[in-house]
Structure 1
Amino acid sequence: MKNSNELIILTDYRHSLYSTVKYGNASDNGIDLNRLENHIGSHGFKIRILNFFELDFTTENFTDKYIIYQSSEDHNAFYKSYIEDIIYAINLQGGIIIPSFKYLKAHHNKVFMELLRDITKIEGVEHSHSKKYGTLEEFLSDSNRIEFPVVIKSAAGTMSKTVRKAENFNDAIKAIKFLSRTFNVKEALKSILKKVIRNHYTPKSNYRNKFIVQPLIEGLDGDFKVLIFEGPKIFLVKRSLKRNDFRASGSGLISYDYDLDSELLDTCMKIYNSFNTPFISIDLAKKNEEYFLIEFQFIMFGTTVLEKSKWFFTKNNGQWVKEISNNLILEEIYADSIIKFINDKIN
């Protein structure tokens, strides 16, 4: 059955889709929906722009309709949980979700991101061998297998705000208690009472925010923030570490002036091609000729790298070339990636 030519753009309760630094604060402003609608529509698609709450599964069938959508990074993933419900229902009904539901699941969720990494073979990139835990108690049961130093990350969080380094076991416990704490007075009192009444009762953990533990990659001087769109179009910046810090994200020490490096670009494309997605954001590091994929996102990633870059990298007759990006428009690059993805990967 031929797929529909209908494409639905789902925006959040603020009528926003993604973000841009072009119109001010990147966290509060979405991309230009009119420009996006016009560009996608010019390729023969019938466009509808809706809020999530406007979908009615009792009166409309979304089978074979293309869906692009917004995620959320709010605290505790309250609104994101709602978005996941809607997108998964569309998926069950046969809608064509771009990017697919598993990539929404990995957004703002480092535990699932790492699980996705575990089941995806990426040639030429070192595996992080991260461990995933749901509670402090699970970590304690497994701590004899941990080799320090490690990096501990809460499942949600941006700009390294929920990342801690642990040189030893005591550091790890302190970091996990800070990142994973879910203490509630009522729950604690109930647990104490139940323990008095029932001798064999095991109290609920007070640390139930899931987290990951990764080996620390020592000796890095920074990493690369890379955005890849269909074409390909690769935008990247080099991020350096602050003195006595292990985190490049949020350091503010960035350089857009980076020369063409075919090996680096080939590695970026290997990562990109390992996932079935129109675009991706990756944090990539290199040490002793080995590449390490730190993190990756497929939806609602920051676009500063694209909007502030003076050039991008692409291929011409099979060779990487560096092209000026002065006249590139975010909405058109986003739209072109969606259209090419539909034409090349779906139809």
Structure 2
Amino acid sequence: MDNIVNGIGMEMKKIFLLTDYKGFFGSKYTAKPYRSGYDRALLTTYFERIGLNAQFIAYSDVFKQEMWDKQLVLYTSSEEVGFHYKEFIEDIVLELEKRGAIVIPGFDYLRAHNNKVYMELLLQRRLKPLISTNETKVYGSMEELNQDISVGAFRYPVVIKRATGAQSKGVFLAKDENELVKYAKMISRTKHVVSEFKEYIRVRKHQGYLPESKYQHKFIVQSFIPNLTNDWKILVYGDHYYILNRGIKKNDFRASGSHYNYKVGSESEFPIQRLNEVRAIYETLDVPHLSLDYAFDGVKGYVIEAQTVYFGTSILEMSNEYYTFKGDDWQVQSQYLDEEGEYVYAMAHYLKQHPELLRG
């Protein structure tokens, strides 16, 4: 990896990496201890190689430092039960951005992490008309869905997804209106006995009172892409494209989490000409790292989901090669970096595209 800072005539610049309450940063498939994130010593070494001084700081300590204007900041996220700590992370990262810190990637992408509603809205805003995304409707309550059902807004089958979750958890195929209502009620139910009893009393006491919804977990409904036999998980680190073919089992429609007929790298059977589209997506989103669920129906490519923060990295361990664009075509290269190396390599690639960030 090149020294990108000295390459533009600067002394070593600090880059701040925000750690969670355990002192961990990032998501690493083979982390030891288990689920402990990236090796901080390795990250420090790799950042030094590109001319950056890595400084680790806990989220709770961030505002003990006053001067954040034009400081480079990287952050991790959280998927712990209830996403309470992620909400805290969002507070800190958003305020850093407001105070002028160069938060990478921007807060939008943290908000989209494990949040399919905002992720879909972000992708629609950033990627259209670049690529097809499934026709998607977002909902914050069952009542809103009922309004669309009443006007015949859907062509069945449709896919309904809980806003949170990974590996196809909370994802269902609704073949008709009855199934859509059933799955929607299942994934949106917000049960609270005391509040529901109070609402029951209010309905009886106040004529015309409309009770609060008992179904307020947000969700999305998407059009169904028929006849797929697989999709691809693609991880992008700078100009390194790692590809995993994920098969779809018979009588199922989901590839994520299937662990069925996996194929990686040059054996992934990915239509190579579509990598130009994937590269355009990566460049348009303008982020260092990207995890993409991608489908191709023989005519069009589809972005099923995308994450730019705290995504699974098992492909890096499953594959010993990646695709990169050299000259005027895509070539297969042997993997030579570990996970920390790929993370920093992608940051170096991103900062080369944005040298103004290093001059702040």
TM category (shorter chain) comes to over 0.9
Taking a change above 3 Å as real, the CA distance of residues 337 and 135 of structure 1, as seen in their structure-2 partners, is same
**2:202 is aligned with 1:194:** yes
How big is the alpha-carbon RMSD for the aligned residues of Structure 1 and Structure 2? Answer: 1.8
Q: What corresponds to 1:286 in structure 2?
A: 296
Q: CA deviation at 1:195?
A: 1.1
Q: CA deviation at 1:122?
A: 4.5
- Given candidates 149, 156, 170, the residue that maps to 2:164 is 156
Q: What corresponds to 1:240 in structure 2?
A: 247
**Does the residue aligned with 2:344 lie in a helix, a strand or coil?**
helix
Q: What corresponds to 2:4 in structure 1?
A: none
**Does the residue aligned with 2:309 lie in a helix, a strand or coil?**
coil
Q: CA deviation at 1:317?
A: 1.6
Q: What corresponds to 2:348 in structure 1?
A: 339
Q: What corresponds to 1:37 in structure 2?
A: 44
Q: What corresponds to 1:51 in structure 2?
A: 58
Aligned residues: 342
| Superposed CA offset, 1:106-131 (max 9, x none) | 10100001101221234552231200
Q: What corresponds to 2:5 in structure 1?
A: none
Q: What corresponds to 1:311 in structure 2?
A: 321
| Superposed CA offset, 1:215-241 (max 9, x none) | 1111100100000111x1000010000
* Structure 1: distance between partners of 2:179 and 2:303: 25
CA contact (8 A) 1:122 1:271 kept: no
Q: What corresponds to 2:117 in structure 1?
A: 111
**Does the residue aligned with 1:280 lie in a helix, a strand or coil?**
strand
**Does the residue aligned with 1:108 lie in a helix, a strand or coil?**
coil
**Does the residue aligned with 1:323 lie in a helix, a strand or coil?**
strand
**2:268 is aligned with 1:262:** no
* Structure 1: distance between partners of 2:60 and 2:12: 22
**Does the residue aligned with 2:222 lie in a helix, a strand or coil?**
strand
* Structure 1: distance between partners of 2:43 and 2:56: 10
Q: What corresponds to 1:69 in structure 2?
A: 75
* Structure 1: distance between partners of 2:305 and 2:133: 11
**2:11 is aligned with 1:13:** no
* Structure 1: distance between partners of 2:304 and 2:348: 29
* Structure 2: distance between partners of 1:177 and 1:272: 35
CA contact (8 A) 1:260 1:322 kept: no
CA contact (8 A) 2:26 2:38 kept: yes
Taking a change above 3 Å as real, the CA distance of residues 275 and 4 of structure 1, as seen in their structure-2 partners, is farther
**2:330 is aligned with 1:323:** no
**Does the residue aligned with 1:238 lie in a helix, a strand or coil?**
strand
* Structure 2: distance between partners of 1:330 and 1:127: 29
**Does the residue aligned with 1:55 lie in a helix, a strand or coil?**
helix
| Superposed CA offset, 1:279-313 (max 9, x none) | 10000011122111100000001111122212100
**Does the residue aligned with 1:315 lie in a helix, a strand or coil?**
strand
Q: Structure 1 stretches (4+) deviating beyond 6 angstroms?
A: none
Q: CA deviation at 1:75?
A: 2.7
Taking a change above 3 Å as real, the CA distance of residues 53 and 181 of structure 1, as seen in their structure-2 partners, is same
* Structure 1: distance between partners of 2:56 and 2:304: 34
**2:174 is aligned with 1:166:** yes
TM-score by length of 2: 0.91
**Does the residue aligned with 1:48 lie in a helix, a strand or coil?**
strand
Q: CA deviation at 1:189?
A: 0.5
* Structure 2: distance between partners of 1:241 and 1:24: 31
Unaligned runs of 5+ in 2: 1-9
Amino acid corresponding to residue 335 of structure 1 in structure 2: V
Alignment of 1:79-158 (within 5 A): 79-122=85-128, 125-143=131-149, 144-158=152-166
* Structure 2: distance between partners of 1:8 and 1:185: 44
Amino acid corresponding to residue 302 of structure 1 in structure 2: G
CA contact (8 A) 2:142 2:213 kept: yes
